[in-house]
Structure 1
């Protein structure tokens, strides 16, 4: 089923829009605190469309993501009691419980791992605030973890450049469904660990 190819084409068109960096910044900020769509879906086509700007786009994504993570931290710190009933009834509750367990086991390293991985980062930012994790280690782990992830995406797009675009176009549906499968497996593993 060709679901991801039309989305990819649209993302490439949006990536060339003159306000695309603003949209990328807004998406990066929102994803770190409350929004479910990761910024990679904009960063990758933008870096592919403009490889000479890949590093500046990765920096923009990193900094706005860390700022969004600080907003998520504030949500957890100031409003977790109000948020908890909704969270318990949502699909994010097992991920939240996993985040708390990881914080107990690894402290700030849990933020680094969540920042680099496809695990919902917003869950970790809110959990860090709810648990009153020290702010400086949280911010540094976020900066390094998110930066590593976004610079890796930008590097792959810059390195691949024009050669990568036809390859991505040809295999985007397989890649998209593989990511969906990985998220499903990750959710199943997190559910069994709770």
Structure 2
């Protein structure tokens, strides 16, 4: 069944839209608060289709993500009772408890790790507020780690450019279905071990 090729083509078309940078910023902002899809999904094709704009896209993504992280921080600081119900309803209590334990152990270093890695950033922005982490170190660490991640993603995507876009397009079904299989296996293992 061919599914991922059409999605890939649509994503590449959106990456060249005149409002693509605004959408990238919006997705980056809301991802740091609640949205489940990381901005890389837009940053990669945008940087591939316009390599000369990759650094600018990484900067837009970073600024929007840090601003969203600040909102997440204040949600954790002032509205955690409201958020706690959502965490329980969405079945994320165990993940949230684990993140809180990491905060107690690692402090500001965990913000750097969460900002640079594919770990859901929104969990850590809210946890930082709940833990009443010092605000300026939180913002500085978030800015450094998010920029490091997004500039790396953007520059690697720009370096590959259109030549890799064509190669990825030819293999997209294998990549897409392979990712689904790996995710299902990982989930099954996690559920079994748990």
TM-score of the alignment, normalized to the shorter chain, above 0.5: yes
Give the gaps of 5 or more residues in structure 2: none
In the TM superposition, residue 177 of structure 1 has moved relative to its aligned partner by 4.5
Separation (CA, whole Å) in 1 of partners of 2:152 and 2:131: 30
2:161 corresponds to: 161
Match of 1:185 in 2: 186
Structure 1: gaps (5+ residues): none
CA spacing shift, 1:28–1:191, aligned 2, 3 Å: farther
Within 1, Cα distance between the matches of 2:98 and 2:4? 30
Give distance in 2, aligned partners of 1:178 and 1:117: 21
User: Could you give the per-residue CA deviations for residues 127-178 of structure 1, whole angstroms, max 9, x where no partner exists?
Assistant: 1111111111211221122111111111111111122111211233343445
CA pair 191-5 structure 1, distance change in 2 beyond 3 A: same
* CA deviations over 1:98-150 (Å, ceiling 9, x no partner): 21111111111111111111111101101111111111121122112211111
The answer to which of 45-54 and 176-185 deviates more is 176-185
How many corresponding residue pairs? 193
Query: What does 1:97-108 align with in structure 2 at a 5 Å threshold?
Result: 97-108=97-108
Structure 1's consecutive aligned runs of 4 or more residues displaced over 4 angstroms after TM superposition are: 177-180, 186-193
- What is the TM-score normalised by the length of structure 1? 0.90
